Amino acid sequence: MMNSLYTAATGMWAQQFKMDTVSNNIANVDTAGYKKVKAEFQDLVYSYSKNAGAATAQNSTTPTGIYVGHGVKLAATTRIFTQGTIENTGNALDLAITGDGFFQIQLQDGRIAYTRDGQFKLDNQGRVVTANGLLLVPQLTVPADSVALTVSPDGIVSVEMADGTVQELGRITLVRFVNPAGLKAIGDNLFVATPASGEPVEGTPGQDGFGTILQGSVEKSNVDVVKEMVDMITAMRAYEFNSRSIMTADQMLQTAANLRR
């Protein structure tokens, strides 16, 4: 009887975690480059009163066993890297990746992080940076006397000068991973590599399976609000059912305690 209390408690904990995950997805529905997260669960260890296939007195085996489960546990949180909706902004420094790949960003400590958020800015030195002032890698510096900036689908960055000449500044490269779901999210729309993700593979946009760059656009979140709302309702109902299981088990224990001979 006591096992049912703990089993239902693990179910409540699991649904609470699922609710936290769904809530975070919905909160980031307008976050550029955000990739939704899915909570995955596994059942816990079983108690075996009788194993299937045990020998019987009639020289045969039992077709089924007696197994009692002990609840559920969180197995993983998987980030889904499907393509988000592309929104046109008309801003020359807004870049969207259509297809596979990540932009490279240099952190304050010199490490390289990765992002799908292409909402770039210029700092006071004309360098291309994120909203938090982190440098895009490879580093690009836009001349102060340029009048227009162009980024081609294959990453070539050029500017038109005031005298009408065109100057090439460099190329934006992308990286990809064998297992992008293994990347570690560190906030600010950034990820860092882990042993699970594998080492980054750098390449040219539009070549060897890498996505292309679309200037003047931003990749929106890939969160489906309707799907998340359905998951939220499901988690809420499952939480209620598990709490009801605890209440029922408690009533059964109370009935047993009140038995009179």
Express each pLDDT in 108-140 by its tens digit.
999 999 999 999 999 999 999 999 999 999 999
% pLDDT > 70, the chain: 93
- Residue range 97-104: mean pLDDT, rounded: 97
- Taking 70 as the threshold, does the pLDDT of residue 183 lie above it? yes
DSSP assignment string, 8-36? HHHHHHHHHHHHHHHHHHHHTTTSTT---
Each residue's pLDDT tens digit, 220-242: 999 999 999 999 999 999 999 99
Nearest 5°: CA angle at 131, between 127 and 137?
45
CA distance readout (Å), 156 to 132, 139, 173: 24, 13, 9
pLDDT given at position 69: 80
- Taking 80 as the threshold, does the pLDDT of residue 166 lie above it? yes
Q: Is the backbone peptide bond immediately before 195 cis, with ω within 30 degrees of 0?
A: no
Name the more confident of 7 and 192. 192
Each residue's pLDDT tens digit, 190-205: 999 999 999 999 999 9
- Residue range 96-117: mean pLDDT, rounded: 97
Q: Distance between CA atoms of 97 and 180, rounded to whole angstroms?
A: 15
- Taking 60 as the threshold, does the pLDDT of residue 1 lie above it? no
Classify residue 138 by burial, with Cβ atoms within 10 Å: 0-12, 13-18, 19+.
middle
pTM, two decimals, is 0.85
pLDDT given at position 56: 65
- Taking 80 as the threshold, does the pLDDT of residue 163 lie above it? yes
pLDDT given at position 248: 87
Each residue's pLDDT tens digit, 32-82: 999 999 999 998 877 776 676 666 666 666 677 777 788 899 999 999 999
Residue position matching structure tokens 């500044």: 169
Helix boundaries (H) for the chain? 2-27, 225-257
SS3 label, residue 184 = strand
